[in-house]
A and B are shown apart, each in its own frame.
Chain A
Amino acid sequence: MSIFSLAITVLIGVLFFVAFFHFSNFLLDYFRVRASKKFALENSIRVIIFIAPAFIVLFVFILYPVFETIRLSFYDKIGENFVGLYNYSWAIKDPDFKRSIINNLGWLIVVPTMSTFFGLVIANLADRVWWGSIAKSIIFMPMAISFVGAGVIWKFMYDYRGPGDQQIGLLNAIAVALGFEPQAWLTIPIWNNLFLMAIMIWIQTGLALVIFSAALRSIPNETLDAARIDGASELKIFWSIIVPFLEQTILVIWTIITILVLKVFDIIYAMTNGQWQTEVLANLMYDWMFRGGGDSGRGSVLAFCILIGVTPILAWNLYRHKQDQKV
């Protein structure tokens, strides 16, 4: 398509929704003048106009699919015949599934921990130096990049050439300079998972960093100064004052990154596509969506596993929301 026709399509798409709200409200106002006593009715029609589009979208794209996916997990590959727990028993026996669960657990432990830790440390360091905001900008930058773009960046870092050749990947160049053999990092089982996780940590540290930076400003200076006057070392201040103070923030960042990590797909799909024992649930699920014409039963089981993973966080969020509403 040409630029012109693309622009027209885009414009029509957006204007459609603007027009919907404008004209429906205009019509309502028009008839209100004629039947001004029906105030209650007018209000409820207005409520419907305001929430209907969003609600329909929410229903079609989130609510219905969630229940439909759960239903499909008990059906066969084309979603027509009930097969009970067959898909679940397949999953338990499937070596790829087992590998995915193990890897996802590894991701869940390593990535949120490291990102939060680095974010906290860097936020603290950046607060003390005059070039701190530039430093924060640089470390935050990967947040703007796509996972696939980050994948290319790191695949280039991990690039491998034979022992005699000039290494063009930085990591192998360093390894060779230090006197080690060059390695094809992404093909070494178990360890390659860490190299993939490094990409996610590289991206998410920025998120932790900016949120911590905002939260750090809320620590009263008097407390810190008092501790310094009493002769507490910076390290002691960090662990005994700053970390406890930021407990809530740490928890929030942890959950955000955890949710993200459970769904990790792009990095695996672009870098290894699950080869060399790097399979994760989201990639396996995508695989089964299309493998052999697609198997909606198995795909649904895998998606459901990811949902189970986020359920504790879902419950916790709802609980906190309820607490907030009371106040």
Chain B
Amino acid sequence: MKKITFTSVLSQLLLLFFVVAWIVPTFGLFISSLRDKDVLAISGWWTSFTTTEINEIYRTEGKDAQIKDGNYYFIKSNLFDGGQEKEIFRFGVTSKNIDEYEVGETALFKDQTEITVFENGDYVWKSKEEFKKKKGKRIFVSAKSPPSFTLDNYKEVLLKEGLGQAFLNTLAVALPATLIPLIICSYFAYALTWMKFYGRDILLATIIASLVVPLQMCLIPVLTIYNDFGALFGVSAKSFPGIWMAHTGFGLASTTFLLWNFLKTLPSEMIEAARVDGATHYDTFIKIVVPLSIPSFASIFILQFLWVWNDLLVGLVFLDKHPSEIILTAKLKELLGSRGENWEILTTGAFVSMTVPLFIFFSLQRYFIRGLVAGSIKG
């Protein structure tokens, strides 16, 4: 065991501070997505773990609910819609004094009618004369609300807000946009590593230069090509195959570079031996190189998949905003604009968009890190 020193305690505390600062934003979002939307709008998510005291306003039922019993008219009902586990401890009948009465006491309205409110929200409203107003009266309650969580927001967001479809769209963009570059770049990287041809070094230098070319440099011309192509053949300029190829193009340099970096570490004797034995480059590639490259394929797959899944710009430019094409990030941005105050929709939507990346992150973190490190140390 190491000695507990001042420095070690200090570094633990400092690290703990960083960890808390980094996790809290995401955690708050997650908790909020599980809260009831009315509560979410009026209290911070950090209050959701404890029984909190809340002040609320309810309205009693009107004259339609009255029954006559002896000389009195009664309205008996419950303030809550039911299913709520709140516990009232004080109540009031005027906005000036919202917690005038203890629960179970009888309060007097201005019109001399009497009301008694109980802990579970039941109330009895008693009057000598018949109730005449259609609308009931306002009751102010102070209640204790225990922690409660719900999946309602997820149901709403996935089914009503169209995030379920956007999720599928994103999947339909991301899988091919990851696999296609992986396929064509693996052949390309093989050729750059093991085949001899004129212009190979220039091609490699071009790849390295393309690594840092900003996406913005390519958008306008590629969009023009797509529009011309669409007009020429009478098809839509915005389509799934279109965005697959766009992502393939924009991810080509990095995918090729990472693969090339890996392939050149394979022992050249092995490749040459296969060639001497009469294997074609295709055989060598399929039977020797591909099986050896599976771990590096996995890393690159994850990097490209996450990049495509999380992309917004390419999706905005090359896909329609129509529900059948819109991707998650674009949908989320749209919700930020149109439902900016509906935090139950935003938090839940954001969390839905994060499920796949987080799943990949926690299950395949090793490959993810390996890819990032490989791309950086040598790049």
Contact = CB atoms under 8 A, between A and B. Distances in A.
B288 interface: no
Given A72-B221, A157-B25, A318-B209, A215 B377 contact: yes
Nearest to A72: B220
Contacts of A118: 18
Given A146-B357, A157-B28, A285-B216, A58 B253 contact: yes
Interface stretch (B40-48, B85-93, B103-111, B293-301): B40-48
Contacts of B353: 146, 148-149
Nearest to B13: A125
Contacts of A211: 372-373, 376-377
Contacts of B309: 146
Interface string A135-156: 1011111111111110111111
Nearest to B374: A214
A276 interface: no
A321 B312 CA distance: 31
Interface stretch (B60-68, B119-127, B145-153, B187-195): B187-195
Q: Is the interface of B mostly helix, strand, loop or mixed?
A: helix
Given A1-B324, A153-B350, A289-B219, A147 B310 contact: yes
Contacts of B292: none
Contacts of A240: none
Contact of B253 (A29, A62, A266, A313): A62
Interface in B6-50: 7-8, 11-12, 14-15, 18-19, 22-26, 28-29, 32, 40-46
Contact of B7 (A57, A234, A265): A234
A145 B221 contact: no
Interface residues of B, number: 112
Interface string B147-169: 00000000000000000000011
17 contacts: A18-B183, A47-B197, A50-B195, A54-B256, A55-B188, A128-B11, A135-B15, A144-B361, A145-B310, A148-B353, A156-B28, A168-B343, A263-B214, A265-B312, A296-B224, A310-B214, A321-B205
Given A170-B45, A269-B333, A314-B213, 7 more contacts: A58-B253, A139-B22, A155-B346, A168-B45, A207-B372, A269-B312, A317-B379
Q: Which 3 A-B pairs have the closest CB atoms?
A: A61-B249, A146-B310, A54-B188
Interface of B: 7-8, 11-12, 14-15, 18-19, 22-26, 28-29, 32, 40-46, 168-169, 171-172, 175-176, 179-180, 183-185, 187-188, 190-192, 195, 197, 201, 203-225, 240-241, 244-246, 248-250, 252-253, 256, 280-282, 306, 309-313, 316-317, 324, 328-329, 332-333, 336, 343, 346-347, 349-350, 353-354, 357-358, 360-361, 365, 368-369, 372-373, 376-377, 379
